[in-house]
Structure 1
Amino acid sequence: MAAFTISTTTVQDIPALDRLVNSAYRGDSSRKGWTTEADLLDGIRTSEESLQAIFRNPNAQILKYEQADQLLGCVYLEQKGDDLYLGMLTVSPEAQAGGIGRQLLAAAEDLAIAKKCRAVTMTVITQRHELIAWYERRGYRSTGETQPFPDDPRFGIPKQPLAFIVMEKEL
């Protein structure tokens, strides 16, 4: 396997991040991988504008996974009190099931430990049973809390009623 790097993104990465995230979650390209939300949601997963907002948040960052100068994965992280919130864990559909997601998750957990966080938390759409099981195999557990899916087309247009479960891994 070729050498890879995991590093913090910059505003120069926004166009590539936008393409990567939308290709992995929505539309026909996302169906090449197992993490697609195309059957649950129409619309886009993110936009350059929403990514720019992340860079304006001093508590947030996006880590990127690159191999041979190609962006293959990313993860959004935001410190919220004693917890590190993890979202938008993304791997290119063509590169899924090769360990990139696990490596990004480990890098996020290492960052949380370095920041002395209590836990890594996340929200997962309740219908994403295979994804919930993937996180459970990595030590994440449902907190029992649920949250409504946002009624905002910037996050996608639900094809059915959706909600999130809150998951966490104590460190």
Structure 2
Amino acid sequence: MITKATFDDIATLEKLINSAYRGETSKQGWATEAHLLEGKRITLDQLEEILKDKNNTILKYTENNQIIGSVLLTNKGDKLYLGMLAISPELQNKGIGKKILHEAEVHALSLGLSKIVMTVITIREKLIEWYNRHGYVDTRTREPFLLNDADTIITDQHLEFAVLEKIL
């Protein structure tokens, strides 16, 4: 079941998102950033600030009363920004991400938005290919990768973002 997250979900979301992106547990899945970055992907305070902003929605995917997937959606006025898609590492590659992407599209259309954009680290080629298979195209626009306070880069590769978009 996919529904909107609430403030009551913050602690669970923080654990899910961090486990999906960073640290040893993230290596159980294919979408990890652990080979590129160390530190927390998100903090409790950051999640609270995200949920306080009326332009943001976090969708949560719940199964057996457990949150096993989530995504951040931000209304940017003329488009929807999709970020922080997270699936429990041990459950990746089971179609959950595809279901969440579909619900993001439903959400965009409900807001009258016909375009979804996102940023993905350019060297995460498998992830970009996955988004390509779901209709997202590389705009060839690049944005700098800016560290947040909790990030430590552990690769010598240049990190920057590719901007991907899907027209609905």
Matched, 1:38 2:34: yes
Matched, 1:168 2:165: yes
Q: For residue 112 of structure 2, give the secondary structure of its aligned residue in structure 1.
A: coil
Structure 1 partner of 2:102:
106
The Cα shift of 1:60 comes to 0.3
The Cα shift of 1:94 comes to 1.1
The Cα shift of 1:115 comes to 1.0
Runs of 4+ in 1 over 2 A off after TM superposition: 151-154
Letter in 2 for 1:158: I
The Cα shift of 1:55 comes to 1.1
- Out of 157-166 and 34-43, give the one that drifted further: 157-166
- What CA RMSD, in Å, does the superposition of the two structures yield over aligned residues? 0.8
Q: Percent identity?
A: 45
* The one of 134, 138, 152 aligned to 2:148: 152
Distance 1:74 1:81 in 2: 22
Matched, 1:26 2:22: yes
Distance 2:21 2:12 in 1: 15
Structure 2 partner of 1:8:
4
In structure 2, runs of 5+ residues without a counterpart are none
- Out of 109-118 and 43-52, give the one that drifted further: 109-118
Q: How many residues align?
A: 166
Distance 1:13 1:118 in 2: 29
TM-score (norm 2): 0.96
In structure 1, runs of 5+ residues without a counterpart are none
Q: For residue 66 of structure 1, give the secondary structure of its aligned residue in structure 2.
A: strand
Aligned positions of 1:99-138 closer than 5 A: 99-138=95-134
TM-score (norm 1): 0.95
Matched, 1:51 2:37: no
